[in-house]
Amino acid sequence: MFKADKAKVEEKIISKFISLLDKGHDAEYCFDKFPVFKSYRSEIGKYLAALDKIKDFKSVKPSKKFEKSALEKIYQNSQKTEESYFQKNMVLPKSSKLKRPFFKPVIAFISTFLFLTFSYTGTVFASANSIPGDILYNVKISAENIQTSLTPPSRQGSLHLRFLNRRMAEAVIILNNNINISDEKINNLLDSIDLEYKRCNEHHYLNGQQTETLNNEINGIKTETQMRMRKRDGTGRDGMGSNGMGNNSGGQCTSSTESTVSGNNTETTVSDNSTETSVSGYNTETTVSGNSSKTSVSGNTTESTVSGNSTETSVSDNSTESTVPGNSTKSDNSTDGTSSNDGKGFDYKNSGK
């Protein structure tokens, strides 16, 4: 073997020995475990002596005086740094109380509370237009229950009247749009209408006129609903709100008959030969063209336009506004031979031309 190769091998072996020492092994253990090192023992000894010598540098240390003064200097400097940092940036330094771990759960609690509040409010807001059978309808009812429990007794009357109007509006929507829902849900709705009406009376919120109007409307809704349910049962469930339901008190339908029972706003247009009956809570706007007969019983406002040959009767509580071009007969706040409203229910008048 050449001298250079021999030196390289020796270097490799010693390097290996030192790496074993680096791993925490004892020198004697390495000699015992790996006999190859034994032949290089004297050379390895020189390296170990050099290592021991180098470790003498550990005695190089700063003076105690410097150790103390340097620490004081650091604290003085850090105070200045923090003050100037705060003055420059107007931001609380890292040691600020706001950064302390105590505030973390408080912030977490507040953010969770806000999230839940806003999400619930959003759901309640979205459920405002729901009707029985909708997913959000139960949310609407639960929100109303919470509202009831939070309202003082002096305001309970107005609150229940508002809820009563909502229930009636729901019933009207179901009837007008021919929505198919189960009998159980309809009965629940009618029961809740009765319940809200009863609560309004319990709080003595309604005067005589209001009671009468509401009675009329509730009875109208009930009658209409029951009729449709009966008809559906007879015809094999073909939809609740089908038109042609006006044949009630012995009247007859010549061409077509349309009945509308509404809670808040109803707008109806009937053309050609028709009979129309409208029972509304607040506003009813009706346009009848051609030969027609119309009876309207409303709570607050009735606005009608009748063209052609027609007979129209309106019985309303507050105001009636009508425009009748052509041949027409019109009655306001009156009961004539063609229409009657005795306060116990509503009258379906059917007359063909």
Residues that bind other proteins in the complex, under the rule CB under 8 A: 11, 15, 18-19, 22, 46-47, 49-51, 53-62, 66-67, 70-71, 73-75, 77-78, 81, 94-95, 101
Tokens 């470790």: give the residue: 55
Nearer to other proteins, 73 or 162 (CB): 73
- Gap between the Cα atoms of 98 and 320, Å rounded: 67
Please report how close the Cβ of residue 149 comes to other proteins at its closest, in angstroms. 46
Nearer to other proteins, 58 or 204 (CB): 58
Task: Please check whether residue 21 is in contact with residue 52, taking contact to mean a CB–CB distance below 8 angstroms.
Answer: no
Residue type, 176: N
- Gap between the Cα atoms of 36 and 13, Å rounded: 8
Nearer to other proteins, 19 or 138 (CB): 19
- Gap between the Cα atoms of 312 and 309, Å rounded: 10
Please report how close the Cβ of residue 71 comes to other proteins at its closest, in angstroms. 6
Please report how close the Cβ of residue 63 comes to other proteins at its closest, in angstroms. 8
Please report how close the Cβ of residue 67 comes to other proteins at its closest, in angstroms. 6
Nearer to other proteins, 44 or 161 (CB): 44
Q: Which two tokens stand for residue 140?
A: 């609407």
- Gap between the Cα atoms of 178 and 172, Å rounded: 10
Concatenated DSSP letters of 161-189: HHHHHHHHHHHHHHHHTT----HHHHHHH
Please report how close the Cβ of residue 109 comes to other proteins at its closest, in angstroms. 22
Nearer to other proteins, 96 or 323 (CB): 96
CA dihedral 124, 125, 126, 130 (to 10 degrees): 70
Nearer to other proteins, 71 or 128 (CB): 71
Please report how close the Cβ of residue 14 comes to other proteins at its closest, in angstroms. 8
Residue type, 133: G
E strand or H helix at 129: none
Concatenated DSSP letters of 78-92: HHHHHHHHHHHH-S-
Q: Which of 304, 315, 228 is nearest to 267 (CA)?
A: 304
Distances 74 to 71, 81, 84, 124, 165 between C-alpha atoms, Å: 5, 10, 15, 59, 76
Nearer to other proteins, 20 or 179 (CB): 20
Nearer to other proteins, 53 or 88 (CB): 53
